[in-house]
Amino acid sequence: MEHYKEVAELIAAGVEFTVVSEYDTDSIRRRIERGAGVRCEFEVSDDGRRAGMAAFYASTPRLIVFGGGHIAIPVSSIAKLVGFDVVVYDDRPAFAHSARFPNAQVICDGFDKIAEHITLTDRDYVVIVTRGHKHDGECLRWVLSSESEPFYMGMIGSGRRVAIVRKQVADEGYDAERLARLHSPIGLKIGAITPEEIAVSILAEVIERKRSADSRGHYHGTFAVDPTLAAQLARDCESCAMITIVETDGSTPREEGAQMLVYADGRTYGTIGGGCAEADVARYSRQVLSSGSGWGLFEVDMTDAAEEDGMVCGGVMTVLAERA
């Protein structure tokens, strides 16, 4: 229990860390290593009696949206849906309020005062969709002058409008290399026209970036740990098994690192894909809870079930079940 309380506290504080777990025939040992780590690595001995896993924990990525206009509304909604904490910033009270953006932190102030409200980090994503190139420029200057560089920055606008802003900030001596990493015009080219379609194209580009490995060596894709799952463990891990997908082959509903909890009374928290496969894993996990070592590996082959039910996913998953 204390281990998971510490994990939950570190996540709440925005600290990045790795939990290293070592498994042998009769025990599980865990330790926490501070700092950026790996997404999810798992190794098992040839005889299957020993194993080790390193799981990277990180706070939820943040999307900062400058501009509270029509495009910002679907951008904010979709971003929240796909796992971002969202901040919307605009200087107009009629546009910057929580009723308009119920799933975001909303800040209303001048674009020349951004630094008074936000501290940029290298885990942030920035989308600039203000009402004019003057405000675009103010937001871009703040990003370029910040000590940290966001993982993604994109700015809306026509080719002409974008060129004007780029030239202005370049002539003012801002970092040319950082400026070159600006995605503008913003979004993937999908022929988007409506605000909702434009929002989809923007978030598609953001997700594409999120799933990439950065040249700085800082991976921002799917981490091995869901912060909400860690918080649940901190509250209640009695008679509970943690399930982690440690290897996949073919098309599977969730990727390596996905996790869920299974309780001795049959309750579950989270998912590794649902369906019959998840039910089989739940049954196996209850066996693990009563075993001496408290851990074990289970292979889930969804090939036959996928063919019978017409499912898209039909690969093989190896899952680690361990007493939490």
* Among 118, 133, 115, CA closest to 87: 118
pLDDT number for residue 233 = 79
**Are residues 297 and 52 in contact, defined by beta-carbon separation less than 8 angstroms?**
no
CA angle 91, 130, 145 (to 5 degrees): 85
pLDDT number for residue 203 = 97
The owner of tokens 């090939």 is: 303
Strand pairing report for 85-90 and 105-108: parallel
The owner of tokens 């506290």 is: 9
Q: What is the DSSP string of 136-172?
A: HHHHHHHHHHSSSPPSEEEE---HHHHHHHHHHHHHT
Q: Taking all residues of the chain, what is their mean pLDDT, rounded to a whole number? A: 85
Helix axes 227-235, 2-12, angle to 10 degrees: 140
**Tokens at residue 70, please?**
């029509």
Judged against a pLDDT cut of 90, whether residue 217 lies above it is answered with no
Strand pairing report for 85-90 and 40-44: unpaired
Q: What is the pTM of this model?
A: 0.75
Mean pLDDT of the 73-94 span:
95
Question: Exposed, middle or buried: residue 269 (CB in 10 Å: 0-12, 13-18, 19+)?
Answer: middle
pLDDT tier, 10 (very low <50, low <70, confident <90, very high otherwise): confident
**Tokens at residue 296, please?**
């074990």
Lowest mean pLDDT among 13-22, 85-94, 223-232, 247-256: 223-232
pLDDT number for residue 130 = 95
**Helices within the chain (DSSP H only):** 2-12, 72-81, 133-145, 159-171, 176-180, 195-210, 227-235, 275-289, 303-309
Judged against a pLDDT cut of 50, whether residue 215 lies above it is answered with no
* Among 255, 260, 229, 226, CA closest to 243: 260
Distance between CA atoms of residues 144 and 124, nearest Å: 13
Cα-based distances in Å from 297 to 125, 267, 287: 37, 20, 12
DSSP state, residue 190: S
User: pLDDT tens digit string along 310-321?
Assistant: 444 568 889 999
% residues pLDDT > 90 (the chain) = 41
Distance between CA atoms of residues 118 and 224, nearest Å: 28
Lowest mean pLDDT among 94-108, 213-227, 296-310: 213-227
**Tokens at residue 250, please?**
């073919």
pLDDT number for residue 158 = 81
pLDDT number for residue 276 = 65
Residue 132 neighbours by CB under 8 Å, 6+ apart: none
User: pLDDT tens digit string along 248-284?
Assistant: 888 787 777 788 899 888 888 888 877 767 888 888 8
- What are the residue ranges spanned by the domains of the chain? 2-58+223-323, 62-210
CATH level 3 topology of 62-210: Rossmann fold (3.40.50)
DSSP state, residue 115: G
Under DSSP, is residue 203 helix (H, G, I), strand (E, B) or coil? Answer: helix
H-run or E-run covering 106: strand 105-108
% residues pLDDT > 70 (the chain) = 89
User: pLDDT tens digit string along 136-165?
Assistant: 999 999 999 999 999 999 999 888 888 888
Mean pLDDT of the 175-188 span:
92
User: pLDDT tens digit string along 101-113?
Assistant: 999 999 999 999 9
Judged against a pLDDT cut of 90, whether residue 89 lies above it is answered with yes
| 231 vs 164, higher pLDDT | 164
pLDDT number for residue 13 = 77
Lowest mean pLDDT among 126-135, 185-194, 272-281, 301-310: 301-310
Mean pLDDT of the 302-307 span:
58
89 has which bridge partners?
66, 107
